[in-house]
Amino acid sequence: MSRGSGGGYDRHITIFSPEGRLFQVEYAFKAVKAAGVTSIGDKLLDPTSVTHLFPITKFLGLLATGTTADARTLVQQARNEAAEFRFKYGYEMPVDVLAKWIADKSQVYTQHAYMRPLGVVSMVLGLDDEFGPRLFKCDPAGHFFGHKATSAGLKEQEAINFLEKKMKNDPSFSYEETVQTAISALQSVLQEDFKATEIEVGVVREGNPVFRVLSTEEIDEHLTAISERD
């Protein structure tokens, strides 16, 4: 793989390589994949303190994949921003506005040399007043797109392939089917059965637009339903 001949500087701060690439941004993407699975194997660690799902407001949730420390910083800022929005404009910050804000902030890091991009891919979810349930994914480059289904992390490509097959004909899933599709996607790419305590699931649904993390019992029910279905 040929590296740019820009004298190596393009790899230290975010400037263009001779081919027009931003190496530091590309490396930030690698950091998301490199973060891998958190060290749950440590018996002394309290597992309830390990989470990648963060409520931003009562109605907005954020799933952070990548470097945990960077994710926490992002979450703090996002919470602040969402609270200020609510105060300034008198209504809850919509999902796409939050996603755009996160993306704009990430873009600044790719342009200013004094800060590095955050090694986090964030998926923002919520229930929009006009458009219903919405899911956005923001990455270190400052891109953000709305998705019907998506994935991030080490096995993201396999998960996305799985989801594409399921969502090909634009099906309209019920709530249970949606949750079970997500959990099945995880099962298929990790290729091993996991217990309800080993995954976390966050949902927003019509009729109950509050962002909620499912309890272990609820996850168990879904796991049982999936195995019965197969």
Partner 1 sequence: MASIGTGYDLSVTTFSPDGRVFQIEYAAKAVDNSGTVIGIKCKDGIVMGVEKLITSKMMLPGSNRRIHSVHRHSGMAVAGLAADGRQIVARAKAEAANYESTYGEPIPIKELTERVASYVHLCTLYWWLRPFGCGVILGGYDRDGPQLYMIEPSGISYRYFGAAIGKGKQAAKTEIEKLKLSEMTCREGVLEIAKIIYRVHDEAKDKAFELEMSWVCDESKRRHEKVPEELLVGAKAAAVAALEEMDAD
Residues at the site binding partner 1, with contacts judged by CB under 8 A: 8, 11-13, 23-24, 27-35, 43-46, 48-50, 67-70, 72-73, 76, 113-117, 119
Total Cβ atoms within 10 A of residue 63: 20
CB of 194 to partner 1, least distance (A): 20
d(CA 151, CA 186): 9
CB of 69 to partner 1, least distance (A): 4
- Please, which residue, 22 or 99, has the CB nearer to partner 1? 22
- Please, which residue, 12 or 143, has the CB nearer to partner 1? 12
- Please, which residue, 76 or 227, has the CB nearer to partner 1? 76
- Please, which residue, 116 or 134, has the CB nearer to partner 1? 116
**What single DSSP character describes residue 149?**
S
The tokens describing 151, both together, are 């994935």
Q: Three-state SS string across 183-216, please?
A: HHHHHHHHCCCCCHHHCCCEEEECCEEEEEECCH
CB of 130 to partner 1, least distance (A): 34
- Please, which residue, 8 or 171, has the CB nearer to partner 1? 8
d(CA 36, CA 40): 11
CB of 111 to partner 1, least distance (A): 13
Total Cβ atoms within 10 A of residue 121: 28
CB of 78 to partner 1, least distance (A): 13
157 closest CA partner among 33, 37, 35, 1: 33
